[in-house]
Amino acid sequence: MEYAENILGTIGNTPLVKINKLTEGIDALVLAKYETFNPGNSVKDRMAVKMIEDAEAAGLLKPGGTIIEGTSGNTGMGLALAAIVKGYRMVCVMADKQSKEKIDILRAVGSEVVVCPTNVAPDDPQSYYSTSKRLAEETPNSWYVNQYDNLSNTKAHYESTGPEIWRQTDGKVTHFVVGVGTGGTISGVGKYLKEQNPNVKVWGVDTYGSVFKKYHETGEFDENEIYPYVTEGIGEDILPKNVDFSIIDGFTKVTDKDAAIYTQRLAKEEGMFLGNSAGAAIKGLLQLKEHFKKDDVVVILFHDHGSRYVGKMFNDDWMRKMGYIE
């Protein structure tokens, strides 16, 4: 009989799917690493379980404890599933720009959700970074995950996602393209792929309002780059320890409008019902097309599922209100 011991046993080994219509102007083979097949419908399931297992091994997370994390939703979901299986209490701290669906889904799987304002500095006491740290200090027998600086995040992708991509492409992958938020996916996958073949190019997709692209190109952390943006799950107003800039060959920035429009296009033209960062990623890939040659194999990673964005990018009233469609 074939079965998993629990839901965590179904994480990983997600398929690679060829993109056909949206990449018609590109000679290379473009394959999507389709992470919504994870049980929590996102790539974050991988690192959520890894961070918990490493914290248990280090004695940081004890039986009956409380897991506390600031999340844009997907890491919270992965942590929540692991918390259910392993018997922990889960508290998710979120910014109010995140979709209502993400908040509702986390509550549906038994998490407590604390919502904080988006439009404040990271060190503001009201920010979701500060609030999650404070709750961890105030809550007995708790563990603050800190996915931004917890290097088990990168390690999860070095140990699972990277080797899967290498195996599934038979070692023929030439480029890896992915949206960058905490940095764990790009750094872990990128490190593994470059160890197998140093010629593999690793491209990050960033958003306007985020500091990554300029910092990578100039080494300057420019606070003037920072302003609120709509795109969820990528970009940062901090420099997480999980972003290893030495592994990244370059960044391209995608506007909120393009990310939203291409999220819809993936659904309507490829049958790929995906999240907002997937729209940003495919538009970023199209912006990079002069880097791809005929025999290249380009792998793009799609983080999460469209069900998280039904009230936003998949709602034409919302799209019109934002000025993204006529």
Q: Measured between alpha carbons, how far is 126 from 113 in angstroms, rounded to an integer?
A: 15
Element (H or E) spanning 115, and its range? strand 112-116
The answer for 110, left when phi > 0, alpha when psi is -120 to 50, beta otherwise, is left
Residue in 21, 33, 44, 294 annotated catalytic: 44
Q: Measured between alpha carbons, how far is 60 from 48 in angstroms, rounded to an integer?
A: 15
Q: What is the DSSP letter of 256?
A: H
The answer for 185, left when phi > 0, alpha when psi is -120 to 50, beta otherwise, is alpha
Q: Measured between alpha carbons, how far is 38 from 304 in angstroms, rounded to an integer?
A: 9
Q: Measured between alpha carbons, how far is 83 from 6 in angstroms, rounded to an integer?
A: 12
Task: Give the N- to C-terminal CA distance of the chain in Å, as an integer.
Answer: 54
Pairing outcome for strands 112-116 and 29-34: unpaired
| 44 catalytically annotated | yes
Residues whose CB is less than 8 angstroms from the CB of residue 271 and which lie 6 or more positions away in sequence, other chains included:
none
Residues recognised as catalytic: 44
